[in-house]
Amino acid sequence: MKTYHLAVIKGDGIGPEIVDETTKVLDAAGKRFGFRFDYRPCLLGGCAIDAVGVPLPEETVRICKGADSVLLGAVGGEKWDTLPGHLRPEAGLLGIRAALGLYANLRPARIFAPLKEASPIKSAVIGEGLDIMVVRELTGGIYFGARGRREIDGVPAAYDTECYCVPEIERICRTGFALAQKRDKRLCSVDKANVLESSRLWRETVTRLAEDYPEVALSHMYVDNCAMQLVRNPRQFDVLVTSNLFGDILSDEASMISGSIGMLASASLAGGGFGLYEPIHGSAPDIAGRGVANPLAAILSGAMLLQYSLGEPEAAQAIELAVNGALAALRTPDIWEEGCKRVGTKEMGDAVAERLPG
Which one from 238, 248, 334, 350 is the annotated catalytic residue?
248
Determine whether 143 is an active site residue.
yes
- Contact between 289 and 150 under an 8 Å Cβ cutoff? The reply is no
pTM comes to 0.91
Going by pLDDT thresholds of 50, 70 and 90, the confidence category of residue 301 is very high
Cα distance between residue 146 and residue 250, in whole Å: 23
pLDDT band at 146 (very low <50, low <70, confident <90, very high): very high
pLDDT grade for 261, boundaries at 50, 70 and 90 = confident
pLDDT band for position 76 (cuts 50, 70, 90): very high
Same fold, 1-120+260-358 and 131-256: yes
Q: Supply the mean pLDDT for the chain.
A: 94
Per-residue pLDDT band for 183 (boundaries 50, 70, 90) equals very high
252 carries an active-site annotation? yes
- Tell me, what's the pLDDT at 77? 94
Q: Going by C-beta distance under 8 Å and a sequence separation of 6 or more, which residues neighbour residue 86?
A: none
From 27, 31, 143, 346, active-site residue: 143
- Of the listed 27, 116, 252, 346, which one is catalytic? 252
C-alpha–C-alpha distance, residues 116 and 257, integer Å: 10
Whether 160 is a known active-site residue: answer: no
The pLDDT confidence band at residue 1, using thresholds 50, 70 and 90, is confident
pLDDT at 228 over 90: yes
pLDDT attached to residue 123 = 75
- Give the residue from 326, 355, 324, 356 showing the smallest Cα distance to 343: 326
> 255 pLDDT band (50/70/90 cuts)?
confident
Active-site annotation holds for 184: no
> What was the pLDDT predicted at 225?
98
Strand blocks (E) in 46-103:
69-74
pLDDT digits (tens, 9 = 90+) for 23-73: 999 999 999 999 999 999 999 999 999 999 999 999 999 999 999 999 999
Question: What's the pLDDT score for residue 272?
Answer: 83
Q: Tell me the CB-side half-sphere exposure of residue 348, using CA atoms within 13 A.
A: 35
pLDDT at 127 over 80: no
Least reliable range by pLDDT among 118-132, 176-190, 192-206: 118-132
194 burial level (CB within 10 Å; 0-12, 13-18, 19+): exposed
Which CATH architecture group holds 1-120+260-358?
Answer: 3-Layer(aba) Sandwich (3.40)
Cα separation, 85 vs 338, in Å, equals 44
* Domain spans, the chain: 1-120+260-358, 131-256
Catalytic residue among 81, 224, 286, 341: 224
Choose between 293 and 271: higher pLDDT.
293
Look at residue 111 in the predicted model and tell me its pLDDT: 84
CB of 74 closer than 8 Å to CB of 12: yes
Note if 192 is an active site residue.
Answer: yes
- Cβ burial of 146 (10 Å; 0-12, 13-18, 19+) is exposed
Q: How far is CA 18 from CA 41, 78, 199, 353, in A?
A: 14, 19, 38, 13
pLDDT for res 330: 93
Q: What integer pLDDT is reported at residue 339 of this predicted model?
A: 85
CA angle 119, 120, 121 (to 5 degrees): 85
H helix count then E strand count, the chain:
12, 14
Q: Return the sign of the alpha-carbon dihedral for residues 303, 113, 252, 167.
A: positive
CA-closest candidate to residue 356, choices 297, 314, 296, 328: 314
Question: Choosing from 4, 192, 238, 334, which is the catalytic residue?
Answer: 192
Q: Is 3.20.20.100 the CATH classification of the domain at 131-256?
A: no
First CA to last CA distance, the chain: 14
Residue type, 262: G
